[in-house]
């Protein structure tokens, strides 16, 4: 079972959107380990796939932001996700049309610095009841992954590493 902390990597724009439009409630996909590649190959934690490994996600985003890569798969996936979620929230009455349009505009036009990666460090004890284990059929690999659909801003810390 999970030890003391969970880790998640997210872009700054996601933090901003969730703060502004979702009442500072955050949906996060997370892992028990920041970098599954650093674990023993005999550890179940080493089975977290690169696309779900917070360190790999962070490094890919950092590289793409620094390189101003307009074809970044991670950034383009985030854009699509923000747009789909905004449309869904509008269709179900959770967002106004103006709010939906603002989120879509932000996703489409945000400068690269708003796509910079952030590391969320989530102390487990206070939020253990919110953590949901992702079914293996929905994971990127055989390693365990978690979702917290309603993490409040006061329930996690953020680390931003500035590379020269």
Is 137 within the bounds of a domain?
A: yes
Is 94 within the bounds of a domain?
A: no
Is 91 within the bounds of a domain?
A: no
Is 103 within the bounds of a domain?
A: no
Number of independent structural domains in the chain: 1
The pTM of the full predicted model, rounded to 2 decimals, is 0.91
Q: In the numeric block, which tokens belong to residue 103?
A: 């989120």
Task: Tell me what percent of the residues of the chain surpass a pLDDT of 90.
Answer: 84
Separation between Cα atoms, residue 136 and residue 134, nearest integer Å:
6
What CATH number does residue 142 fall under? 3.20.170
Is 98 within the bounds of a domain?
A: no
Strand partners, 8: 120
Is 133 within the bounds of a domain?
A: yes
pLDDT (tens digit per residue) in 53-104: 999 999 999 999 999 999 999 999 999 999 999 999 999 999 999 999 999 9
- For residue 132, the enclosing domain spans 5-69+115-159
What is the mean pLDDT of the segment spanning 111-122? Answer: 97
Separation between Cα atoms, residue 59 and residue 36, nearest integer Å:
13
Is 25 within the bounds of a domain?
A: yes
Is 77 within the bounds of a domain?
A: no
Residue pair 20/127 in contact (Cβ under 8 Å)? The answer is no
């Amino acid at each position: 079972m999970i030890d003391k902390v969970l880790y998640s990597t997210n872009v700054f724009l996601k933090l901003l959107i969730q703060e502004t439009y979702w009442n500072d409630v955050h949906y996060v996909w997370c892992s028990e380990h920041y970098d599954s590649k650093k674990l023993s190959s005999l550890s179940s934690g080493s089975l977290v796939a690169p696309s779900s490994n917070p360190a790999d996600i962070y490094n890919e985003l950092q590289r793409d932001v620094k390189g101003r890569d307009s074809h970044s798969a991670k950034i383009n996936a985030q854009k699509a996700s923000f747009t789909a979620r905004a449309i869904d929230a509008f269709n179900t009455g959770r967002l106004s049309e103006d709010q939906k349009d603002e989120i879509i505009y932000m996703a489409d036009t945000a400068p690269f610095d708003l796509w910079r990666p952030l590391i969320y460090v989530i102390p487990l004890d206070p939020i253990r009841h919110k953590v949901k284990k992702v079914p293996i059929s929905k994971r990127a690999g055989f390693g365990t992954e978690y979702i917290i659909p309603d993490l409040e801003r006061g329930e996690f810390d953020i680390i931003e590493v500035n590379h020269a």
